Structure 1
Amino acid sequence: MSYVKYEQKDFVGVVTIDREKALNALNNEVLCDLEAVIDAVDVDKTRCLIITGAGAKAFVAGADIAAMCNMTSEEGRAFSAKGNAVFRKIEKLPIPVIAAVNGFALGGGCELALSCDIRIASENAVFGQPEAGLGITPGFGGTQRLARTIGVGKAKELIFACRNVKADEALQIGLVNAVYPADQLMDEAMKLAKRISENAPIAVRQCKKAINMGLQMDIDSAVALESELFAACCGTQDQRNAMTAFCEKRKHDPFINK
């Protein structure tokens, strides 16, 4: 792919938005490349995915403003629909996805990070939704996911005022899980991804499904869903091997996703 690179490291996949000269800004071509990479991820061999940006300045600095400047309403609708479709594919992947935010994550970049399950950031990371200052709304889910992540009031403040937040504040408001020096970010992302991949893949996937689907339900429906997903784990080879090892006070065999 021209603008998106993929690397497999054991059970961890690493996706890199690689348009460094444009601060990894998103246009239709980048979105198409990202979609193709996401579609090609082998979720039977990959237990966790990391998404990051090329270079030291930006995760994704936003959507490509030059490409958007003269968009008609219909063209804007199509561009927004494309971005939303790609980000929903990321969000709906059965495996956990970590955003390793290594610099600017503005507009579409912030929205890309929000579509991931977990966000960790470098100390130079900056987040924001500057769209209202450019005469538009966020178009790739920012109004929805930001409010769900940091709360409605804080999300409205950032979106209405076009206020950027640096890494330390992003940690304080719950936008990211952790902040690291820039030269340690990918090592820490890989460390977390490997820790996730060491757990039972079926169970991790069911946990993701329970959380993501349950948040859209009333509590009675959500706990009923959890019971069904719990039951689906029982009787798997991984569950039996791990619990038998626990009872026998020994380390369990590596999980085999069965």
Structure 2
Amino acid sequence: MPHYDEVQTPLDLFRMFITEDILSNIVDQTNLNAMRKKNLALKLSLEELRRFLGVQMLMSILKLPAIKMYWENGIRYSPVADTMSRDRFISLRSFFHICDDTLMIPKGRLVVINYPEEIQSIEEQMIPFKGTIGFRQYLKDKPHSWGVKVFTRAGISGIVYDIEIYTGKGAVEISELGQGTDVVLRLVENMPRFMNFKLFFDNFYTGIDLIHKLRVEYGIESCGTIRSNRMRGAVLDTDANMKKKGRGSVDFRFERHSEVSVVKWYDNKPVHLASSYCAVTPIDKV
């Protein structure tokens, strides 16, 4: 793949983005698709795929009402017609495939929630319930104070992708990582890994070890408010100094081992944040 300083032709630019690995994958998946659909040995090669893609690009520049017209006598367009026969082009076009279907999430009536949103959050919610049940909870700050408490993983659309019902203290063994971390790890267990998801949570869950673990073992970037006693000794500006500087003053530290940033922001009182993918900049007014 050429470096951007070496790009001199449109083909060089194309190769910057569409690598040989990508082309090889398209060849494999297109051949598999033909075998799967029609039990046909398509025998597409890398060289033929390059010609096919070139023909497609030419057709997008010089547009005719119907594909077959590029090969018809009288209006025959030789850059296309001399590169590939009409029947072969149509055959490749019908079986052209990029994705490995064995890795696709099965379709169904709930297909819309089978493709989780990039940005998600974990929070506790209350299912309103005033009946008799052994694990009914009371949370005064929730819209419905009485009910069944659930930990949820939801997208920015409001769609809930996973839940865990809280059945009371002692119902689930807590690891040395703590209850908040345990809840998060259970709720992300079914998420596709290393797909650049962004996960947000509050200070009940946030910890340096959790953020590091999510990035290294799950490929999930995360951000959350964090309690000052969980910052592993990060020394930040004092509350008194930040109060003198006024609202909007900020200080931060970055831990190289865990690749986690800790930010202290002063509003009416200090707010601490920890994240694996965002830091103190850019700064803007809220």
The alignment's TM-score, normalised by the length of structure 2, stands at 0.23
Please identify the structure whose Cα radius of gyration is greater.
Answer: 2
* Higher RCO (CA 8 Å, separation ≥ 6 residues): 1
| Larger helix proportion of the pair | 1
The alignment's TM-score, normalised by the length of structure 1, stands at 0.25
